[in-house]
Structure 1
């Protein structure tokens, strides 16, 4: 039996890829990195710089009124009334704060507008508030005080609400179509006067279009 001669192979010589291939690889890596950065930035909570005519009295983080959950996008502003005639913004803020101890319910809002037009911020704009049910995840909430059970806002409250809502619209590039009542989310009669008097609500939206910040 004739033995076969052992075959030998020439040594493998590694060649560097051409310059165009390296450039293409770098371009692909940069595109991938750009997509990662874009996705990460979209997931960052939104925030706007709060003007000095808003008084910040932020709630302590707790499970019942300020969970600390990021608010990652703002697609609307929800208007509410407090439902407690004659109470002040500070009293309602204290109620929200007290829920951390009582645990009786889940409730809060980003802002409270008082009977004299004062505005108190309770929850940061990059966190959700417990105010608007399923729309908590993508809206900013405003609770307004009112003098009696009819729920109509005093002139000072109304003017501050216009100013606050207009500022938020400008800050988050929203239109009046994205300013809604609690009623429009859940069917609850809130804010009561502006549910039972829809023409008053339409006037509010019209007034928003004609409100300019100083």
Structure 2
């Protein structure tokens, strides 16, 4: 018997998409992009999708429905979600929604070590980040506008709303730090930091 599959954003998304209809891996990847799921699920490496499908299949959470053959494309295996897969998806979903998970994204780690850069250099890189965040925010606003114009149920737009809120919060914080760096309200030097270092240097 295979080991239980650990929950992951990609595994949950595969199970969720197979709730809609049986799909082959290419169809799953296409729907992830068409439905904007690539904003919250990393599918840049196709191999990771195939590995996830293999694990779900081995665990009995999905099953082979049929094999398609055509002259325009190679043989494709179509998968469907099993009853165990439906139950597992619901269990994973409830757990992911209910309990905040302690994650370790790279930006907070970089911020915690920002004093390694001089103030002028930190200002330069944060100004660059701010420009990218503002572009992302504009893109999310445009996406929400398009989705709203299509008359989609709000529940299908929640992930975009969430990403917009998180991006807006980060944009505001980064902008405030940039403003403080520009005004000299936030500054430091090696001597200043050394004064608070209780260890030997």
TM surpasses 0.5: no
Task: State the TM-score, normalizing by the size of structure 2.
Answer: 0.25
Task: State the TM-score, normalizing by the size of structure 1.
Answer: 0.24
The structure with the greater share of residues assigned to strand is 1
**Per chain length, whose mean CA-contact separation is higher, i.e. which structure has more relative contact order (CA < 8 Å, sep 6+)?**
1
